[in-house]
């Protein structure tokens, strides 16, 4: 088992550590069981704020519990709506938006993120970012529909204008079983 090159979500945190500062406003586009939401809430501190989205009531309940336990609930808004409607809930510029695509492990229903709504949400995210803000997307291809979603995300991000955005890809090139991928997009300047 690897010690350093573990999950893409861990590698993602190496970047997030630098990107997110105390007092920032950030978004968790895929709340799930709230691990990322909790991490983000800790990172932004008591003067920051996290908007967190999921379409499953189950996700809201388990995340609310996690946050209350750590006394982090006041700096987080849990939103039962699709991330494709992010623009209706988030009105301020944000420094970071985190996507962890796919399905919620061990959930009752296998509700997965889907290409069309994911792309719409990424489009909204790029508008909401402040200069040098980052969208981070962890992508999994092992489940049904996962490869289609990955291809849609790649088609979209590959075509982003280099003068507006830098796009970085991280992946495990020697893993055989559908290794996950991480894509990071930084907004360059005001435009
Ligand atoms: N980040 C989560 C955590 O820390 O536990 C894991 C996220 S899980 C891989 C993906 C989540 O995306 C699922 O909980 C699923 O319900 C949610 N999802 C699916 N479609 C969505 C949509 N349109 N908008 C927001 N969330 C969605």
Q: Is the pLDDT of residue 52 over 70?
A: yes
pLDDT digits (tens, 9 = 90+) for 20-49: 999 999 999 999 999 999 999 999 999 999
Residues with CB under 6 A from ligand 1: 30-36, 53-56, 59, 82-84, 100, 102-104, 111, 113, 117
Probe residue for ligand 1, chosen from 54, 82, 123 as the CB with the greatest number of ligand atoms within 8 Å: 54
What pLDDT was estimated at residue 191?
55
Residue pair 61/37 in contact (Cβ under 8 Å)? The answer is no
**List of domains in the chain:** 8-17+24-187 (3.40.50.150)
Other Cβ atoms closer than 10 A to 85: 15
pLDDT above 90 as % of the chain: 93
How many of the other CB atoms lie within 10 Å of CB of 69?
Answer: 10
Pocket test for ligand 1, best of 12, 26, 32 (most atoms within 8 A of CB): 32
pLDDT digits (tens, 9 = 90+) for 116-125: 999 999 999 9
Phi-psi region at 145: left, alpha or beta (left = phi > 0; alpha = psi -120 to 50):
left
ipTM of the complex: 0.98
The pair of three-digit structure tokens given for residue 38, joined into one six-digit string: 């909790």
Q: What does R_g of the chain's alpha carbons equal in angstroms?
A: 16
* DSSP track, 18-39: HH--TT-EEEES--TTSHHHHH
| Residue 109 predicted with pLDDT over 90 | no
Q: Which atom of ligand 1 is nearest to the CA of 82?
A: 24
Say yes or no to pLDDT of 63 above 80: yes
Q: What is the mean pLDDT of residues 4-8?
A: 92
pLDDT in tens, 119-172: 999 999 999 999 999 999 999 999 999 999 999 999 999 999 999 999 999 999
What integer is the mean pLDDT of 73-81?
Answer: 98
Angle, helices 57-69 vs 35-44, to 10°: value is 40
């Amino acid at each position: 088992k690897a010690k350093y090159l573990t999950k893409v979500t861990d590698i993602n945190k190496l970047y997030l550590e630098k990107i997110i500062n105390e007092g920032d406003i950030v978004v968790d586009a895929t709340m799930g069981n709230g691990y990322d939401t909790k991490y983000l809430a800790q990172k932004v501190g008591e003067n920051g704020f996290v908007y967190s989205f999921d379409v499953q009531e189950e996700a809201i309940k388990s995340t609310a519990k996690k946050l209350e336990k750590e006394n982090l609930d006041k700096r987080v808004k849990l939103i039962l709506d699709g991330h494709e409607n992010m623009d209706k809930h988030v009105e301020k510029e944000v420094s970071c938006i985190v996507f962890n695509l796919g399905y919620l492990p061990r959930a009752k229903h296998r509700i997965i993120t889907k290409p069309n709504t994911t792309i719409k949400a990424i489009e909204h995210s790029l508008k909401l970012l402040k200069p040098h803000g980052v969208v981070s997307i962890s992508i999994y291809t092992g489940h049904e529909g996962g490869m289609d979603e990955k291809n849609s995300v790649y088609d979209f991000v590959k075509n982003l204008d280099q003068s507006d955005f830098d796009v970085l890809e991280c992946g495990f090139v020697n893993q055989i079983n559908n290794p996950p991928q991480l894509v990071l997009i930084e907004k360059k300047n005001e435009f």
